[in-house]
Each structure stands twice: as C-alpha cells, then as structure tokens.
Chain A
Amino acid sequence: MEVAVRELLIEKGVLTADQVRRQVEDMDSRTPARGAAVVARAWSDPVFHRLLMADGNAAVETMGLERGPYKLVVVENTPDVHNVIVCTLCSCYPRWLLGLPPDWYKSRNYRSRMVREPRAVLREFGLELPQDTTVRVHDSTADMRYLVLPMRPVGTDEWQEQQLGALVGRDAMVGVAVCASR
C-alpha cells in the first residue's frame, strides 16, 4: 500500500523520490532524547517548567526544538497522580519529541485495554501503582499530543540537566514506566 501510493505520487509528479527520502530521514532523526531533554530542563528550571505546563509548543521552541505540528499538552505526575497516554482510535503520538511510536503503542491490545483496565496493563509493564494513586488516562483522539512529565527521581538534587536527561526513558514519557536514578 505504502509503496503503491508512493510510486503513484512520484509518477504523477506530486512528490520527488528525494523529497520522500528526506522526510523519512528527518523522521528517523527524531528520537526520545529530545523529549528527555525537555523533561530534564523542566526538572531543573522552574520558569521553563511553568511555560511547559502552560504552552508546551512555545516551551520546546525555546530549546531550539521544532514547535511541532500539533498542540502539545504536558501532563505532570505527582506523588498522588499518575498519567498515561493512549490513542484508542489510531496511534497519535508526539513524534517530533519522541520519534516513531513503539509497536506496542499501536497494538490493538494496548489501545483497547489501556482505557478499560489501565492498572492491569501498567502491571504488565512492571509498574504497580498503589490503589490510592489516581490514574489519569489521556486518550489522544484529535488535535492534542501528550507528553508525560515524570517525577524527578529522589537523590538527584545535585544533578546537572544533562545527567538528568539520561534518566528519562521513552516509556516514562508515555506513562507506562517511571524514572529511577539507577
């Protein structure tokens, strides 16, 4: 299907093969390291943190990152609230900050079960949440894209932004894991 459409677009002169190649190259250059840098900055800089929560696109732009084609909503984990992202209708994902979504994010299993039994799905990812923690699932169904701001691991008060960034994994920014200092 992809090949058929691509060949047709090129044959009809809508796109050139080089334009297609360049887009693929650009997409592959986006990795979760971008999101991790955003999280580390938010942990280190209270002014940036406030901007990130109020206007995610403007905040990431101040770091020299792409503003992104969709509105960025950042949801913050606290000792009482755990956030997790799913797109039940397709596979909406903040690609400009996290790169391509993992296969499980696009699977029917994850998409259907994360809204219905999030705690069971999180347990399968190795994340057992206390019963009194509020679980907030965010179904990315339209024009918003979501990034979870994980909790900063304890014992990292003296850490520099770059060291902190290394603690932030993709899964924590989707909300199926948390960050740990070791």
Chain B
Amino acid sequence: MSEQTEPVRFEPGEHVAVRAAHPPGHVRTPAYVRGCEGVIERLCGTYPNPEEMAYGRSGLPAQPLYRVRFRQADLWADYEGGPSDTVDVEIFQHWLQPTGVNNDGTPRRS
C-alpha cells in the first residue's frame, strides 16, 4: 500500500456508522446520513479526497470510497415505503467508523 493511499478498512457487508460531524467547508457527505448506520455495499476504489482538493491541496493520501446502503426506515421516522426500501450513498472512508463507537473511537455506552 503506497503512502499516497489510505489502507482499506471496511469490507462489503460490514455495518458502519457515519460520523456525526458538521465541519465547515466543502463536505461531500450529505447531512441526512450523518450519525446514521448502514452497510457497505461495495468498495468503489480510492480517490483523492475532494474535501481537500476543494482548497487547492493534493487530496492525498487518496481515500477509499464506498457505497453505503441505508434503510430508508432508519433515516426517516415517517418514511412512506416498505422496510426493504434503501438509499445508497457514496461515502469516503474518513467519514466512516465501526458501529458501536463514539466519534473519538471510544466504545459507546448503551
């Protein structure tokens, strides 16, 4: 693995949580999935981080990009459709963490 590429941390089928962060600036993770849990649908490849490139920086190390599948019923309390309806969102790895941990990596108390 080159220094220019962040190692891949997640596999398809793995449950992940999107960080519940609200940083300023050019952010490519839609607000409606922040803090939500989904499942890795596929690894799309590694791409320079657009949140860095937006400010003229290199975007390196490149970030793994995943498609994460969310159940609509988990995103919207009043969702109209069936329980199998989903939305897939492309999310960069630095926005993802294993489920059951806080933003700082410490285990979440239930």
Contacts and interface: CB of A to CB of B under 8 A. Distances in A.
Contacts of B92: 142
A139 B45 contact: no
Contacts of A141: 28-30, 89-91
A77 interface: no
Interface string A116-128: 1111100000000
B28 A134 contact: no
Given A88-B30, A139-B30, A144 B86 contact: no
Contacts of B82: 131-135
Contact of B85 (A118, A120, A140, A142): A118
Contacts of B21: none
B28 A142 contact: yes
A34 interface: no
B45 A71 contact: yes
A133 B85 CA distance: 8
Contact of A143 (B47, B80, B88): B47
Contacts of B47: 142-143
Contacts of A71: 44-45
B78 to A, nearest CB: 9
Nearest to A84: B87
Contacts of A131: 81-82
Interface string A43-73: 0000000000000000000000000000101
Contacts of B45: 71, 143
Nearest to A116: B76
Interface string A30-41: 000000000000
Contacts of A142: 28, 44, 47, 50, 65, 90-92
Contacts of A10: none
B55 interface: no
Contacts of B29: 141
Residue among A73, A118, A132, A139 with max Cβ neighbours from chain B (10 Å): A139
10 contacts: A89-B30, A115-B87, A118-B72, A132-B82, A136-B87, A139-B89, A141-B89, A142-B47, A143-B45, A143-B47
Q: Which 3 A-B pairs have the closest CB atoms?
A: A142-B90, A137-B87, A134-B84
Interface of B: 28-30, 32, 44-45, 47, 50, 65, 67, 72, 75-76, 79-82, 84-92
Given A116-B32, A119-B80, A133-B82, 4 more contacts: A115-B32, A118-B72, A118-B81, A141-B91
